[in-house]
A and B are shown apart, each in its own frame.
Chain A
Amino acid sequence: MKNSTKPVPNANPVIRLLGLGEAGVKLVETLAMIGPGGIETYSLDTDNRSLARCHQSQTFLLGQAIPCGLGTGGDSALARAAVESESEQLAGIVRGADLVFIVAGMGGGTGTGAASFLANLAKEAGALVVGVVATPFDCEGIRRCNQASGGVRDLKQVADAVFHFPNQDIVLMEGASVSLQEALDIANRHLCEAVLGVSRMLLDSGMLNVSFGDLQAALRGRHSLGSVIHVDASGDDRAGAAVRKLLAHPSALGGEPLQEASTLLVHLSGEDITMAEIIAVTGAIGSHITKANLVVGASRPGSDGAGLQVTVVIAHTAKLAEPGQEQDKMHPDPTGQASGLGFSDSFSVPDTGSYFDLEKGISGTSRGGFAYTPPAPTEDALTPECREDLIRVAAKEEPNRKKRQKIVQEMLPLEIVSKGRFEKSEPTIHQGEDLDQPTYIRRGAVLN
């Protein structure tokens, strides 16, 4: 699977997969093994040990001069320095690519520090840059979580889209009793699916084609947190099962993220797809979207299998979320209520019980404050939209307001309490209570 960097002469787009940091390297190794042909894979790390385990992908040691192959020990600044010292070689890696996936586990040193720089290099080389990142479990500590959030934010400012999967979602999906190995496997599978789904969409010979152009139109310059949902189902009612799985997926819970999307790329892959199945899947997705541009594709998989694979790429309009919102987005509140940060969570819809009802009793908690302050973006990393957004954020204006939970008019009390004799006098306010109002009303006593 070792591919050279020379341009591939066929019509397929040049897809390069860069794994950063230990988690990223592992994922890239897995993807290199199972992935479709035509993807060039590279493993990049500051740690020699991690690279020594790579057999499928091309390896590249970052920071030969500074950490000397010993890893960064969680220091993202060190990783940044390392990656900057190698910028020329790295530019060579990304040169000529049409689509660059940057796969990294956020929260550590290398992935967090190097991803945005690498994305910038790839962007300069003219590629469409998609970040595929995992963020740590809540139990890994607030510092690591904050660092991860900051890393995602940095990456998002540079990359066209970031497909992000919080590991904490696994606890929500599978329950806290899941073993660590299983949990990590699931996380890896999700990330792999994101990469595989997109690359299959582009590389499989399609009956209804979703082209690189479609992807580019959906993602280019968005700087958004998108998501890729990849489900497969088999059996008699495989379309119905796929739709159910799709809507129960943490990234599309209840369909609200679909509603907020600006573009949806839906790709079905399977043997003998019937029109009924396509109609069922697109109909189910279409019922959730209001204004999004829906692109549907279908292909026959290269490998055998009776299953139906559905890949949905959800792309949002270009907006920078405020850190708090971003935090919300990354960590759906298992109770389905708006978290304490005051913003509603786009991924958790209060009335959908289907997904979380299965996992009753899980007491996941949303994370606390967002302490990470990302460094100021460099001038060349600022696209005009990005700059506008930053200005808006700086102006304390809440972006994306209309995408948040709809503001519902509170029900007013039926009785409007009149103050009678004291209507026009100076109110007697004692500790926030208006003592001019009858006590029995303030205390909610019922006269029957």
Chain B
Amino acid sequence: MGERWPVNKQNVSNSQIIVGLEIGTSKVCVAVGEVSENQIVNIIGLGQAKSRGVRKGEIIDVALAEEDVRNAIVEAEQVADVEIRSVFLGVTGSHIRGFNNTGVHPVVSADREITTSDIQDVIKNAKAINLPTDHSVVHVIRQHFRVDGQDGVLNPEGMLGAKIEVDVHVVSGRYNRLQNPIRLVNGLHLEVDNISSCALASSLAILSPEQKELGTLVIDLGAGVTEYAVYSAGVIKHTGVMAVGGDHVSNDLAYGLKVPLARAEQLKIDHGSALIDLEAGDREIDLSDDSLIPGRQVNLGHMQKIMSMRLQETFELIARDIGQAGLIEYLRAGVVLCGGGARIPQITRLAREVFNLPVAIGRASTVSGVKNALDEPEFATPVGLIKFGVFQSQANPRRAGFGRAIRRQVAAFFGR
């Protein structure tokens, strides 16, 4: 990561700068985190730009997206007063899949003691996944070990056993579509340290260890995509991406209320609600100020009905997916919402009705720093990407040529 200038005066040599970049459907967001020597993350800067070249979480116009990313990076550099050279990139899109896999390895040593190499072997076996040729792995996240059928072993090293198994959660996506944002970032002369799925990043930002242990569903209600991840017993159990989001709500409103899309977007922000307000039925919203047709009004009840049905459907689809995965009973800490969609009034009540679980709005409680970066649910992903970066650098301690090593790792992921 080398020298940065003008350098922050404090902790010149001991702090490390980690940057999270999310190229979202509605906005490009950059968060700059400073990691102190004792691994405390402090958010020192945020950069944002309106995203114009992304639809459903994926880039559809490279030139526009590049410009937006550049703007956001420049803003973050100015706020944080650092030069950004590399980022951790959030990837999303309907092509991202999450599934669980198991690796098995027999312990062959004479004394049956499980060694580090056994653990490495079993993880290697779990990573041997049969993917379609155009897919590549984004994450392989270790869940639990099983030693001779004994479940829930966190670290089997030193235990005795004949057979060791490991469950992993694998996130994969289409190689080409994962490459698009990476190439875009590289085109701006920035390195990509690593990529992470946005669902994983968001959950890293907002979940406490207790919530992960008890079992929580994190739903990131983005503009283009809705991502969700299920934690239980401290590990990630299930992830999913659905290419339905806030854009769909706006589009439904534009269609149903017969207003332009931009006006529908504004109506959603000004008057939106996830539940139908009984008194809203007769209220009319006057659009005459900016509509070409004088005296144009829309019915608030209709608007809320359209919004409510879309959001309810989204939650129901997630609930069905998690129900099929058999995890709905494990969500003892309830549901946590984040992303821009979490700002819709009454969204927690709607989610509570659908999931029949306690619902809260996520806050990036595990980091410190710029106040609005932590309080706003839509910054969960970039903040989470910083935490992801911290975990990555803990796993690969900082040393000379660290950046290059990480880059090699990325290359290994995609270099097939």
A: which residues have CB within 8 A of B?
Answer: 417-422, 425-426, 428, 430, 435-436, 438-441, 443, 445, 447
Closest B residue to A438 by CB, please name it: B252
| Given A439-B313, A440-B256, A421:B247 Cβ within 8 A | yes
**Chain B contacts for A435, CB-based, 8 A:** 242-244, 248, 313, 317
Query: CB-CB < 8 A to A425: which residues of B?
Result: 55-56, 60
- Once the chains bind, are A445 and B255 in contact (CB under 8 Å)? no
A-B contact pairs, 29 of them (CB 8 A): A417-B255, A420-B254, A421-B250, A421-B251, A422-B55, A422-B251, A425-B60, A426-B94, A428-B56, A428-B243, A428-B244, A430-B242, A435-B242, A435-B243, A435-B244, A435-B313, A435-B317, A436-B248, A438-B252, A438-B255, A439-B306, A440-B305, A440-B309, A441-B256, A443-B309, A443-B313, A445-B309, A447-B302, A447-B305
Determine whether the beta carbon of B244 is less than 8 Å from that of A420: no
Q: What residues of chain B lie closer than 8 Å to A447, measured between beta carbons? A: 256, 299, 302, 305-306
* Chain B, 230-270, CB within 8 A of any chain A CB: 242-244, 247-248, 250-252, 254-256, 261
Q: How far is the CB of A228 from chain B (nearest CB, A)?
A: 59
Task: Give the CA-CA distance A441 to B313 in the complex, in Å.
Answer: 12
Which residues in window 288-337 of B have CB below 8 A to A? 299, 302, 305-306, 309-310, 312-313, 317
Bound Cα distance from A438 to B250, whole angstroms: 10
Contact assessment for A428 and B94 in the assembled complex, using a CB-CB cutoff below 8 Å = yes
For B306, what are the chain A residues with a Cβ–Cβ distance below 8 Å?
438-440, 447
Q: Which of B94, B251, B302, B309 contacts A420 (CB 8 A)?
A: B251
A426-B94, A445-B309 as given contacts; A439 in contact with B55, CB under 8 Å: no
Q: Give CA–CA (A428, B164) in the complex, Å.
A: 40
Contacts of A419 in B (CB 8 A): 251
B43-55 near A? 1/0 per residue, CB < 8 Å: 0000000000001
- In the complex, the answer to whether B256 meets A438 with C-beta atoms within 8 Å is yes
Given contact pairs A438-B251, A438-B255, a sample of 8 additional A-B residue pairs in the complex whose CB atoms are under 8 Å apart: A425-B60, A428-B56, A435-B243, A438-B256, A439-B252, A439-B306, A439-B310, A439-B312
Q: Residue B310 contacts which of A422, A426, A438 (CB distance < 8 angstroms)?
A: A438
Q: Which of A420, A440, A441, A443 contacts B261 (CB 8 A)?
A: A420
* Alpha-carbon distance between A145 and B251 when the two chains are bound, in angstroms: 57
Chain A residues, CB < 8 A from B244: 428, 435
Cα of A420 to Cα of B247 in the assembled complex, Å: 10
* Chain A residues, CB < 8 A from B248: 422, 435-436
Docked Cα-Cα span, A419 to B251, in Å, equals: 8
Asked if B255 and A420 sit within 8 Å, CB to CB, the answer is: yes
Interface residues on chain B, size class:
20 to 34
Residues of B that sit less than 8 Å from A by CB:
55-56, 60, 94, 242-244, 247-248, 250-252, 254-256, 261, 299, 302, 305-306, 309-310, 312-313, 317
A405 CA / B273 CA spacing, docked (Å): 50
Residues on B with C-beta less than 8 A from A418 are 255
Q: Is the CB of B55 within 8 A of A430?
A: no
Q: Which residues of A contact B251 (CB under 8 A)?
A: 419-422, 436, 438
Cα A436 to Cα B252 in complex, Å, equals: 9
- Complex Cα distance, B56 from A425, in Å, reads 8
CB distance from A20 to the nearest CB of B (A): 59
How many angstroms between the C-alpha atoms of A445 and B305 in the bound complex?
Answer: 9
In the bound complex, what is the Cα–Cα distance between A443 and B248 (angstroms)?
A: 15
User: CA–CA, A130 to B47, complex, Å?
Assistant: 90
Chain A residue at minimal CB-CB distance from B243: A428
**Residue on A with the closest CB to B310?**
A439
Report whether A421 and B261 are in contact in the complex, using a CB–CB cutoff of 8 Å. Answer: yes
A408 CA / B4 CA spacing, docked (Å):
74
Quick one: closest B residue to A415, CB to CB? B255
How far is it, in angstroms, between the C-alpha of A440 and the C-alpha of B261 when the chains are bound?
A: 17
CB nearest neighbor in B for A417: B255
Chain A neighbourhood of B313, CB < 8 A: 435, 439, 443
- Give the chain B neighbours of A422 by CB distance below 8 A: 55-56, 247-248, 251
Chain B residues closer than 8 Å to A438, beta-carbon distance: 251-252, 255-256, 306, 310
Closest-CB distance, B354 to chain A (whole angstroms):
13
Closest A residue, CB atoms, query B264: A420
Cα of A439 to Cα of B313 in the assembled complex, Å = 7
- Which residues on the A side are within 8 Å of B256 (C-beta)? 438, 440-441, 447
CB proximity of B227 to chain A, nearest CB, Å: 14
A309 to chain B, nearest CB (A): 66
The 3 closest A-B pairs by CB, nearest first: A438-B252, A428-B243, A439-B309
Task: Name the residue of chain B whose CB is nearest to the CB of A427.
Answer: B243
Q: Which residues of B contact A439 (CB under 8 A)?
A: 252, 306, 309-310, 312-313
- How many Å from the CB of B311 to the closest CB on chain A? 9
Chain A residues lying within 8 Å of B247, measured Cβ to Cβ, are 421-422
Task: Contacts A421-B247, A421-B261, A440-B305 given; indicate if A426 touches B255 (C-beta within 8 A).
Answer: no
A350 to B56, CA, bound (A): 48
Distance (Å) between the CB of B293 and the closest chain A CB? 19
**How many whole Å from B92's CB to the nearest CB in chain A?**
13
**Assembly CA distance A438 to B248 (angstroms):** 8
Q: How far is the CA of A439 from the CA of B314 in the complex (A)?
A: 10
Q: How far is the CB of A425 from chain B (nearest CB, A)?
A: 5
CB of A440 within 8 A of CB of B94, answer no
Q: Contacts A420-B254, A425-B55: A430 and B309 contacting too (C-beta < 8 A)? A: no
Assembled-state Cα–Cα distance A436/B248 (Å): 7
